[in-house]
Amino acid sequence: MGAVVGRKQRILRALLVLLIETLFLMVFFGPMVTAHKDPLSQLIYWCVCVLVGLVVIVLAVLDLRELIIGFPAVHRQMFLDVMKKEDKDS
């Protein structure tokens, strides 16, 4: 039948995992990193954190787009496989 997840989706999902882990670490360690910094440094740090979060959302939408584009082909192939199996059984 072939791969259900294409090359583009694997790359997107790997980037998503990497960025989500980065975001988690930034949020977790953020208070410790910015505790004794000036307000401008804190603002820059949290703006970068928000920016990483927005990039995660955009990549998730792109992954969903790839899933929607590839769904008809996978669905068609699955249907053909089922029909072939039924023909062999008859």
Q: Give the pLDDT confidence of 27-42 residue by residue, as tens digits.
A: 999 999 999 999 999 9
Let me know if residue 49 belongs to a domain. Answer: yes
Let me know if residue 1 belongs to a domain. Answer: no
User: What length is written for the chain?
Assistant: 90
**What DSSP string describes 4-62?**
SS-HHHHHHHHHHHHHHHHHHHHHHHHHHHHTTS-HHHHHHHHHHHHHHHHHHHHHHHH
Let me know if residue 18 belongs to a domain. Answer: yes
More confident of the two residues 22 and 6: 22
Number of domains in the chain: 1
Let me know if residue 2 belongs to a domain. Answer: no
Let me know if residue 24 belongs to a domain. Answer: yes
Residues 23-78 have pLDDT tens digits of 999 999 999 999 999 999 999 999 999 999 999 999 999 999 988 888 888 888 88
Give residue 54's domain range: 7-89
Let me know if residue 43 belongs to a domain. Answer: yes
Q: Are 70 and 6 in contact (CB under 8 A)?
A: yes
